Every structure is written in C-alpha cells, then in structure tokens.
Amino acid sequence: MAVEVVMPKLGMAMKEGTVSLWNKEVGDAVGAGETIASISSEKIEMDVESPADGTILKIAVPEGEGVPPGTVICYIGNAGEEIISNEVNRQETSIRDVDKEPLKQKELSTVAVISRGDRVKISPVARKMAEAAKLDVEKIKGTGPGGRITKEDVQEAIHNSRSREAENVISEELPSQSTENARQVALSGIRKVIARRMQDSLQNSAQLTIMMKADVTELLKMQKQASEAMQKNNDEKLTVTDFLSRAAVLSLKEHLQMNSAYIDEKIHLFEEVHLGIAVALETGLVVPVIRHAEKCTIRQLSKASKELARRARAGRLSSEEMQGSTFTISNLGAYGVEHFTPILNPPETGILGVGAVFDTPVYLGDELKRRSILPLSLTFDHRVLDGAPASAFLQTLKRYLEEPMTMLL
C-alpha cells in the first residue's frame, strides 16, 4: 500500500507550511531517509525525508503552495501501484479542470501548476494572490524550477509594487538614485523566511522595548572562579550568557506573564520554560531551544546551549530543536553593541537583548568605584502585558545578576 507523506507541524502556532522545492519528480526512485523535498513555515525551513524505499507515485502539493499541517504532499510506493486514499487529491482536481482525459503520472507535476490556457508557470496559491493584488503575472519573474512563479515571488512583487507607490508620492521631494551599477542579491532560503517573519512580527504585534543596566561586577568574579574550576576538570568554561540564561529562567518563573504566547487572541501562560538562544549563521539567524530550562543548573544550561550552537553552525539542527520556545535571548555583546531593540519571535511575549559589558565609575555610597555594567534591552508584546509588569520582570532579572549567589541557592 502506498505511503502517504504529510506536511509536518513545525511549531505550535503553525497554521500552514509551504513546499519550497521538490528534489524528486513523479516516477523517481527514492530510498528511506533520502531528502525528497524542502518545506518552510514562518519560522524555519527543513528537509522532508522519504519514510520508505519506493517510487514517487504522486506529488499532491506543487512548489510554492501552502497547506495545513497533516495534509498529504506526496505518495510513495511500488512503481505502477494504485493509490488508495480517502483524501481528495488536490492535484488531480486541478488537472481535471484542465483536461477531462486521464493523464500519465509523469505529467502531473507539470500540469498542476499551469492554469487553463496560460503560458505562465505559476502555482494556484500564487495566482490567487496575484489576482487579489491585481498584478499582471506575466510581469512577475519566477524563481522556481523552470521559471515557475511561487508564492514568495508574488509576495515580493506586492511589496515592490507598494514601495513604488510610496516612491511616487515623494518623488518630487527626494532626488532619484540610480541603481544601474548596484549589485542585486535575490532573497532565498532562510533569509527570505526571516525577512517575511520579522516583517509579520512587527505588523501583527504591539512591540515595546524598555532598557535597563545591571552591575555585573560580582557576577564576573564568580564567572571567572567557576570557569577556572571547570577547566581543571576539562569542562568548558561558563560564560556570562550561561548566567544570564539561569537568571532569565528564574525571573520567568516569578513573572509568568512574560513566559507566555499570544495565539488566536488568547494569552497562553506556561509553567515550563523553553528557552531560545539566538545563534547567528552566515545564512541568517536561528533560535535553537533548551527545553525545560527551569530544571537545568547553570552548568547544564551551559552544556546544552553550546551543543545546540555547534549543531546549528554545522547545519544539523532538527525542526524539533528550533520550535516551542517560550522566551528568547539574543546576545550582541560580542559585536560591541550596547542597547538595541530585538524583534519578538512570534508568538512569544518577550525577547531579551544583551549588550556588551563596559566599565564605568559608579558611586557606591560616597565612594567612586570602577564597576562593570551590562546593558539589557527587553522587547515585549504590549497586548499581553503593560510596561509596569514588564519592568518588574527586568528588575527581577537585574537583581539576580547583581546578586549572583542567589542563582545558586
């Protein structure tokens, strides 16, 4: 019996996944574990592997089309095998509209993305989007295989159209800039997903950033002592981020509103802390997740974050390791940045931006002393909580950082 390959659920808030690329065609032989397609959600991209040995019998979802999780995207079985399924194959329906005559299996993947009588290759979802935006599909450049127009191509065309309208409004006030000698780089892969996701985050939430500074002089002393002790046992040294992670987890347990998600106009409060640690790659930003961080010691948090970062840089993170976070930390201290405004990782309520530690003179009573200061930037969703409770969370975090011994008690 043919095996159904379905669209996986890549996150608790995922409502739709898109087939970015098919690596195989109908009739191609595949082996178990072999990559057959690439899919994407608003959060990540991942490869879909074949669950069994066999032949691609049907491709039910064409490239560029989005479908809900659990939808069958293709069938794998023995060559010539009849497919038995209760699900109405979306691709067959599209083909029947083109021609009532039965088609060979090898023809399905091509015909399904070409509308009746058209010369333009375009997926059904992309065509609907273009029609709604009143765009001429013949003027849209397709980036899919064979010049096929995908959903992302239409989204980019809509964005460009709106940008041109805005430029026309102010064209009389601002001098035009020539782009003849500019090098153009097309958005693709994870960069395109990040661009769309960040724009959606800003458009679909009420984000506010507040800032505070913590005196981490005593924390740095403790971190140095702990690192020296761990290196004697051939363990990796603790970093400031490790202590920050522990402080954030403890603070989130005291302020559940910050450890929450805004989904379908409801606030979901979580007892468990699944901590996302942003990792910068050459291709973009990924956020691997330390699950049940509330059960981890500082040492365990350190080992988990370092291992996830190594796997991220090697491109070996699974989709499960990049979903389900309830709060995120983004550290730009290594780049010398002090304060910045991190963008929320939907549907999370909060994200903590960490800057570079700097030394400055500070009055302690009547004495002026040199102290180490850590800048903190907290972005939160104003739909979930107001400035006062968000500030209270930041004050609790500051207290843990300035009294590091309390993190160990």
Q: Give the torsion through C-alpha atoms of 307, 310, 314, 318, to 10 deg.
A: 30
Q: Read off the pLDDT band of 42 (50, 70, 90).
A: low
Q: Given this model, what pLDDT does residue 104 score?
A: 40
Task: Write the DSSP assignment of 172-239 as a string of letters.
Answer: TTS-----TTPPP----HHHHHHHHHHHHHHHSS-EEEEEEEEE-HHHHHHHHHHHHHHHHTTPPPP-
What number of other Cβ atoms are within 10 A of residue 360's Cβ?
10
Q: Do residues 148 and 63 touch, judged by C-beta distance below 8 A?
A: yes
* Among the listed residues 378, 249, 231, the one whose alpha carbon sits nearest the alpha carbon of residue 305: 249
Residue range(s) occupied by CATH 2.40.50.100 in the chain: 3-111
Residue range(s) occupied by CATH 3.30.559.10 in the chain: 207-407
- Of 99, 159, 292, 382, the active-site residue reads 382
Q: Read off the pLDDT band of 406 (50, 70, 90).
A: very high
CATH hierarchy code of domain 128-170:
4.10.320
User: In the chain, pLDDT over 70 holds for what percent of residues?
Assistant: 83
- Supply 215's token pair: 């005196």
The CATH architecture annotation of domain 3-111 reads Beta Barrel (2.40)
Is 382 one of the catalytic residues?
yes
Task: Give CA–CA dist 400/139, Å, rounded.
Answer: 57
Residue range(s) occupied by CATH 4.10.320 in the chain: 128-170
Q: Which residues pair with 112 in a beta bridge?
A: none
| pTM beyond cutoff 0.75 | no
Task: Give CA–CA dist 199/392, Å, rounded.
Answer: 28
- Of 97, 118, 359, 386, the active-site residue reads 386
Q: Given this model, what pLDDT does residue 272 score?
A: 96
29-38, 172-181, 314-323, range with greatest mean pLDDT: 29-38
Residues 190-194: what's their mean pLDDT? 74
Q: pLDDT digit string (tens) for 111-168?
A: 334 333 345 777 767 787 888 888 888 888 887 766 778 877 888 888 777 666 655 6
- Supply 126's token pair: 């992309």
Q: pLDDT digit string (tens) for 367-393?
A: 999 999 999 999 999 999 999 999 999
Task: Give CA–CA dist 326/349, Å, rounded.
Answer: 8
Proportion of the chain in helix, strand, coil states, percent, rounded to 5 = 35, 25, 40
What number of other Cβ atoms are within 10 A of residue 294's Cβ?
17
Task: Give CA–CA dist 364/367, Å, rounded.
Answer: 5
Residue that the structure tokens 């020539």 belong to: 178
- Supply 83's token pair: 């497919």
CATH hierarchy code of domain 207-407:
3.30.559.10
